[in-house]
Structure 1
Amino acid sequence: MAHAHARPTIEGDEEAAAELRLGEFHDVPTMSLSEAHLVIKAVIDKRRAEAKPEPQGETINKMQDYLAVFARFKNQGNIHMIEQTLNSRTVLDPFERSQLGTLCCESADEAKTLIPSLTNKISDSDLQDLLDEITRLRFAE
């Protein structure tokens, strides 16, 4: 008989649910995976250009590989346009904006299912307009 493993209890008050409870991370600037990919790539490229030894090791290499695969946007111009579009929605928390830029949801319903805290912050119509703009930029690459 297989034993079910109990899920570890999460300490603290952090939860991305209907009401964001991010504890000490509330209002901390966040990035989408695409933005993080740009930052990591720029640091590594700069080190290479300056002929500095690469002390990043296995962890940073794995992170770079992960971001290269899962970052939805590769074009720097589009990433900046999406960031500006998302940042113009000041009603949204930085965490919500970075999640929208990472998840690239197709519908307002999908976005509100994956990011429940959006439910009472933005209308379905406004959210769909935002998602449509993100999708347009995604397929313009």
Structure 2
Amino acid sequence: MPQAPTSRPKPPPPGDEEAGNVLKLGEFEGVETLSLSEASLVINALVAKRRNDRKNVNETEILTKTIDYLDAFARFKQKENVEAVERLLGSHTELTKFERAALGSLCPDGVEEAKTLIPSLTDKIGDDDLQELLEEMGKLQG
């Protein structure tokens, strides 16, 4: 006798967003996108300002976990490096905001890894240009 399922099926995600060979970002198309390093910079600056102004920071568990996550996974720690990477990625106008943020967050080691993680890069940037971009980003990590 077959057993009844122990969990309900996972509902499909809302919308039809997809980050494959062709980006389908739905309502998020063209929306400003931050890398993890940029998000860390913004959130930490906001929290510091609120503490400095003695305003209610409202440090919830979610805020604390978000800051911990960003501290662990942001690849660029110093403000100057975050800004330099933002300028470097921003100079590649052939890439979407999403692709630039993904590159800035994932920091792939090479062209093949970058195109595997972000398939939409394949027809947008040449291998030599992408490798040069990745190398320049690598110099700023830490």
What does 1:89-104 correspond to in 2, within 5 Å?
Answer: 89-104=92-107
- Name the residue aligned to 1:20: 23
The residue type equivalent to 2:38 in the other structure is E
Runs of 4+ in 1 over 3 A off after TM superposition: 3-8
Can you give the 5+ residue segments of structure 1 that lack an aligned partner in the other structure? none
Deviations 1:65-88 (A, max 9, x none): 111111111100000000000000
The residue type equivalent to 1:26 in the other structure is E
What does 1:89-128 correspond to in 2, within 5 Å?
Answer: 89-128=92-131
Q: Equivalent of 2:37, from 17, 34, 37?
A: 34
Q: How many Å apart are 1:7 and its aligned residue?
A: 5.2
Q: How many Å apart are 1:137 and its aligned residue?
A: 1.0
Separation in 2, partners of 1:116, 1:7: 26
Closer/same/farther in 2, CA of residues 90 and 62 from structure 1, 3 Å limit: same
User: Bigger shift: 16-25 or 54-63?
Assistant: 54-63
What TM-score, normalized to structure 1?
0.92
Identity %: 50
- Name the residue aligned to 1:88: 91
In the comparison of the two structures, how many residue pairs are matched? 139
What TM-score, normalized to structure 2?
0.91
Larger radius of gyration: 2
Closer/same/farther in 2, CA of residues 88 and 24 from structure 1, 3 Å limit: same
- Name the residue aligned to 1:11: 14
In angstroms, what is the RMSD of aligned CA positions?
1.9
Deviations 1:8-62 (A, max 9, x none): 4223220000000000101101000000000000000001111112213111111
Closer/same/farther in 2, CA of residues 80 and 7 from structure 1, 3 Å limit: same
User: Bigger shift: 56-65 or 3-12?
Assistant: 3-12
